[in-house]
Structure 1
Amino acid sequence: MNRLKTSAAVLAAFSVLAAGPASAAGLSTQEKKLVAAAGAEEARSLALLETLVNINSGTLNVAGVQDVGKRLQTEFRGLGFDVRWVPMNEIGRAGHLVAVHKGSGKGKRMLLIGHMDTVFEPSSPFQKYVVRGDIAEGPGVNDMKGGLVIMIGALRAMKAAGTLKDADITVVLTGDEERAGRPLTTSRADLINAAKASDLALEFEGLAQENGKDMASIARRSSTDWTLKVTAKSGHSSGIFSDAAGYGAAYELARIVDAFRREAREVNATFNVGYMAAGTTAAANETDTGAAATGKTNIIPAQAVARGDLRTLSNAQTESIRAKMAAIVSQPLGGAKAEISFQDGYPAMAPSAGSRALLAKLNEVNRDLGLATMPELDPLKRGAGDIGFVGDLLPGLIGFGAAGEGAHAPGETMELKSLDRQTKRAALFMSRMARP
């Protein structure tokens, strides 16, 4: 069956699921046992969280990411999963953890997605796990080591209550979500292959909140980069704007980026100019963290460069905006030439009926746990993530991880109270999906 037919079949299945009668209100005897088991995991989960956060696993710290992976492999093997480590040495990354649990084959095949790396490399001064009242602070505590321990705690509760044995689950934990290794066809091959053999995806990154209310995510925007390079005739500044001299590289660069703003915008899409430079010479630095230019006030700039990102709500929208940007670039001012290139990054996961059907089931779980209904989060408020690589293949939900603040910055925190309710949510939701 081809990819389009597979997606259509999955969507139809979940549309029927959403339209069918709601499950009986309240918890069954087994589900009550499950919820109690999930609650009993808290102390163990907190201990595991401290251990994982205190291991530096910045994306480029290969040994640290592998150390986190070894500890998690032990956890999954103890739950009866077949576990393998997929090395990524050839692309300069630590590798990925893939764990598979074979169940009855009668329920939904679930893909659990997460990552073991953080943005905090060994050179960062932010390295230690600290608890202050109901808040834990530490590198990656929210993004996303809190989500890793919630995943483990939920699966342990399922095993204790007897609901794991029937569950068909594949776990893919990447080691480079924060700085994906290239080529992406290599670094995300195992994730995509797992999605093709699954019915739904659950991403255990952080729980989004608005005004203290838990929110659900069914979409993530893309994140790709673009580079604009301009060359032009140079000469004495007194000749600028003439037919012979033209307009120079600086005016052409300014024309293009302003035309992007005026002509290429679409709803739910953004594109940012991260940095730009123009002069007699202008070039980005080797680490793509800025640019340098040389020149004089009386010389027409011969070179210009700008770099930025593009974020969209669907992969079709990505192509649409790229085409608009390319069309703008293709109409240069006199005496100038320009070219734009796009560097593939994280694809978009667009909202879908199948994902909304899953959210309806999650809100049945919330009801039966005595928790508030979770509304959809505006996808503009959520960044890109690994689930985007499989968003066109199957429906999914995002945000089964911990609540917190300040991700990617020193002082990143996690709300410790979210650990209990997220573990219970995940355990009950997965147990219900595993049923025939």
Structure 2
Amino acid sequence: MFAGQSRPEAQGIKMNGLTNNLLSETECDAVLELRHAMHREPELSNNEWKTQRRIIEALEAFGLVGAKTFHNTGVYIDIEGAASGPGRSVVLRGDIDALPIHEQRDDLPYKSQVPGVMHACGHDVHGSIALGTALAFHRMRPNFSGKVRVIFQPAEEAEPLGGRSVAEAKMLDGFDLAVGLHVHTDIPAGSYGARAGAVTKSSDQFEVEFIGIMAHGAKPNAGVDAISIAGAFINELQKVVSREMPVDDGAIITIGTIRGGEATNIICPSVTLTGTIRTSSSERRTLLVRRVGEIADGVASMHRGRARFSSLAGEPPVINDSDMVDRFRDTVIKVAGEDKFVQRPASSGSDDFGYYSDLLPSIYFWIGSQEPGNDTGVHTPTFGASDKIVIPATELAVQYCLDLIRE
């Protein structure tokens, strides 16, 4: 039904006057159909095979051929404007992976049919908006010059990250601007937000193994207690944030796992800890990782043990370009009304759209989803976002990209 008759829900959204008519009825149908299909059959990071196939089929149903794949399960499509004159090139990203959470939303007719997996972060909405953007620009080719690349990106939630692959494959080369988006459960449905500067934090993973010497529990002096070393390390670690970082940085160091010890009467010879390091500053990111390693070495040496430290660089912070935020505010006011643009604090979470904003002037804007019945946070089993926000948000994205291309 991707190119067939209009669904009642799409007709209702149109009749309610909630859109700016940049999508046709059949395009609205396709957007909502993909949203429901993705939600019913969510797929975890790096396993989005059915989702990839659905996206390609939906594009081809509207005459968009030549979609390319990347990162195994990702898809992207380029749309070239046919109008004469200068025009900028814009990338729009929609992520498509789900989370290992069992959905508790029996009220949804398109509830997840996959036990233990759901779209708890709105990526079904994001991917559907990306589809609608591609369909609209394909139809409007005679009316714009420039180029739009729509990326349906896998693996935002888990390694190996799709955003890193986008950067490493040089998929952003030759483009002028990048646009990302995300549902926001603290913004009312129908409103939108953005702010200049850092809007998420970087996320780097680390692992520390503390090595001691095994001994009988009754003779601790004969050994080196790796558990004691680990405890001292945890206490010292937070001083990096409270005493070495600017108070407005909001840096976060989290210990997520601790493994060690075999019995109650043995001095533990080895403990392994893993955690994450987050900051809104690209410069302080390197410093934080280095300091965690230095503290591990120092604490281990002080307790007569050794430390093995390793880290894995994750996503950079997402940095919003101030000019793009100003333009977005203007577009929201034009499309939705002056009262529909809101400001919200930056997030303490992370998003691999940071790889995009590391390479291009970018914006990562928020789509309000909060309303009665859809008011719990992302990454929870009761998270939800109404169909009613999908088409207006898609048409806002289309209008905004048009404004950027023509600017």
TM-score (norm 1): 0.73
Task: Please state how far the C-alpha of 1:194 moved relative to its aligned partner.
Answer: 2.1
Task: Please state how far the C-alpha of 1:342 moved relative to its aligned partner.
Answer: 0.7
2:52 is matched with which residue? 69
Q: 1:128 to 1:163 in 2, by over 3 A?
A: farther
Identity of aligned residues (%): 16
The equivalences for 1:33-112 within 5 A come to 35-38=20-23, 40=25, 41-59=27-45, 61=47, 65-77=48-60, 78=62, 80=64, 82-86=66-70, 88=71, 94-103=72-81, 106-112=86-92
Q: 1:288-328 CA distances to partner (integer Å, 9 max, x unpaired)? A: xxxxx31334x433222211111121332221101211221
Q: 1:333 to 1:211 in 2, by over 3 A?
A: farther
1:424 aligned counterpart, secondary structure: helix
Uncovered stretches (5+) of structure 2, i.e. residues with no partner: 1-16, 113-117
1:38 aligned counterpart, secondary structure: coil
Alpha-carbon distance in structure 1 between the residues aligned to 2:138 and 2:73 = 27
8 Å CA contact 1:105–1:168 kept in 2: the answer is no
Alpha-carbon distance in structure 1 between the residues aligned to 2:89 and 2:168 = 14
Counterpart residue identity of residue 214, structure 2 = S
Q: 1:150 to 1:255 in 2, by over 3 A?
A: same
The equivalences for 1:4-403 within 5 A come to 35-38=20-23, 40=25, 41-59=27-45, 61=47, 65-77=48-60, 78=62, 80=64, 82-86=66-70, 88=71, 94-103=72-81, 106-120=86-100, 126=103, 131=108, 138=112, 139-140=118-119, 142-159=121-138, 165-181=144-160, 188-189=165-166, 193-207=170-184, 209-210=186-187, 214-216=192-194, 219-237=199-217, 240=220, 245=222, 248-265=225-242, 266=245, 267-277=249-259, 282=260, 293-297=261-265, 299-331=266-298, 332-351=301-320, 355-369=321-335, 370-372=337-339, 374-381=341-348, 383-399=349-365, 403=369
1:204 aligned counterpart, secondary structure: strand
State how many pairs are aligned: 365
Q: 1:95 to 1:158 in 2, by over 3 A?
A: closer
8 Å CA contact 1:208–1:216 kept in 2: the answer is no
Alpha-carbon distance in structure 1 between the residues aligned to 2:94 and 2:168 = 10
1:413 aligned counterpart, secondary structure: coil
Alpha-carbon distance in structure 1 between the residues aligned to 2:152 and 2:403 = 23
8 Å CA contact 2:208–2:310 kept in 1: the answer is yes
1:379 aligned counterpart, secondary structure: coil
Uncovered stretches (5+) of structure 1, i.e. residues with no partner: 1-31, 89-93, 283-292
Q: CA RMSD in A?
A: 3.3
Q: 1:232 to 1:365 in 2, by over 3 A?
A: same
8 Å CA contact 2:208–2:273 kept in 1: the answer is yes
Counterpart residue identity of residue 296, structure 1 = T
Alpha-carbon distance in structure 2 between the residues aligned to 1:200 and 1:320 = 29
Q: 1:246 to 1:127 in 2, by over 3 A?
A: closer
Q: 1:81 to 1:432 in 2, by over 3 A?
A: farther
Counterpart residue identity of residue 222, structure 1 = S
1:294 aligned counterpart, secondary structure: coil
Alpha-carbon distance in structure 2 between the residues aligned to 1:410 and 1:164 = 43
Alpha-carbon distance in structure 2 between the residues aligned to 1:105 and 1:73 = 30
Q: 1:127 to 1:84 in 2, by over 3 A?
A: farther
Task: Please state how far the C-alpha of 1:359 moved relative to its aligned partner.
Answer: 0.8
